[in-house]
Structure 1
């Protein structure tokens, strides 16, 4: 695992301790992944923000236990420009996310509700959108397409079926899509999706889907 600054390392240790504590009563992550949390969850999440290194204002869809969105917020905890919005529908997981955010000082804003209900009212400025193993690419682009068309970057972690999703999606007409190999799983991929330069006019990404 790559070098982590001391302040971030300490925050991630707090995160790990809280996750292990809450995992006893809430199924936050697959039990078999707990012993590999630093690679399977933390390093896997860090490579998402690596894919959009200039972004400090993020929207994370279907955050679950906070991967990758809460790790992104922890990474930029000392940056006054950072704000990471996490959308999660499970009330107990929202409570967990708020607890970790509070204990680590991460600039995370938790939106507890379904993505379809939150996004139409969401109007915070966003530079990048993330999701990990949430839904097929066409569904993710239904959620995030307007933000990407307005200038945000989509960074989506996908499993071994990702290439087939891309081939079948017909998305290349609207978006530029770059595929990155995952550093933590040989079968996984990260899709970096931006608005095609010849598709519409550039605008600052500030609102969600109408």
Structure 2
């Protein structure tokens, strides 16, 4: 799907290739409404993207669950408004399995996330700490996600303690137009397997799936 085709998706509608249950779709709509409500008092997302909230943020994040549907224990770094971590946690509610640890050090955004969890039944909890502190207290996890947070080299640095404990962990990072340069820079410091999943909602953007992360000596 090209960005120009996004307009054909009605607000609150979910394309067939991102199929979720009717209950999950309704939870996602409740979540989107909460973002709109709280945006007036907390800068959860860029104001210029608010009119495209559903496609640019909700559906773009939902792609991650479409790529990895099996229940897992996640850490979502720098969750902010909850993209993509809270979207994943909402999708996990159907199965009653899996969990998402939402790491967000901003207290106001953490408060929003707690409210969103309460109103959607998402399988998630909020850790109002910095990422390095989360690494010391979280149990072993299966997957890490982040979106619009930091350069890839920094994301890999934060992920490294978890990869050391669980070599099978998978990292999932939404990246924009400059992702290729970020990958090149990261490969100067890190060895890793990489799969690039093209975004269906933002031209030139990808979800990077990374495994077997090790740092060069």
TM-score scaled to structure 2, two decimals? 0.84
- Out of 57, 71, 87, the residue aligned to residue 71 of structure 1 is 87
CA contact (8 A) 1:138 1:171 kept: no
Structure 2 match to 1:147:
162
Task: Find the aligned partners of 1:54 and 1:147 in 2 and give their Cα distance.
Answer: 20
CA contact (8 A) 2:172 2:208 kept: yes
Aligned 1:27-66 pairs, distance under 5 A: 27-66=43-82
- Which has the higher mean CA deviation after the structures are superposed, 67-76 or 53-62? 53-62
1:26 Cα deviation from its structure 2 partner: 0.5
Q: Which runs of 4+ in 1 moved over 2 A?
A: 49-56, 145-149, 171-174
Deviations 1:38-78 (A, max 9, x none): 11011110112223333421110000000000000001112
Local SS of the residue matching 2:100: strand
Task: Find the aligned partners of 2:152 and 2:205 in 1 and give their Cα distance.
Answer: 14
Task: Find the aligned partners of 2:56 and 2:203 in 1 and give their Cα distance.
Answer: 12
Structure 1 match to 2:178:
161
Query: Structure 1 residue 121 and structure 2 residue 137: aligned?
Result: yes
Task: Find the aligned partners of 2:157 and 2:191 in 1 and give their Cα distance.
Answer: 12
Query: Structure 1 residue 186 and structure 2 residue 199: aligned?
Result: no
Task: Find the aligned partners of 2:113 and 2:188 in 1 and give their Cα distance.
Answer: 32
Task: Find the aligned partners of 2:188 and 2:66 in 1 and give their Cα distance.
Answer: 23
Task: Find the aligned partners of 1:32 and 1:173 in 2 and give their Cα distance.
Answer: 35
Any stretches of 5+ residues in structure 1 without a counterpart?
Answer: 200-210
Local SS of the residue matching 1:174: strand
Task: Find the aligned partners of 2:15 and 2:145 in 1 and give their Cα distance.
Answer: 21
1:80 Cα deviation from its structure 2 partner: 2.2
Structure 2 match to 1:18:
34
Q: CA RMSD in A?
A: 1.7
Structure 1 match to 2:114:
98
Local SS of the residue matching 2:149: coil
1:171 Cα deviation from its structure 2 partner: 6.0
CA contact (8 A) 1:51 1:192 kept: no
Structure 1 match to 2:9:
none
Higher relative helix content: 2
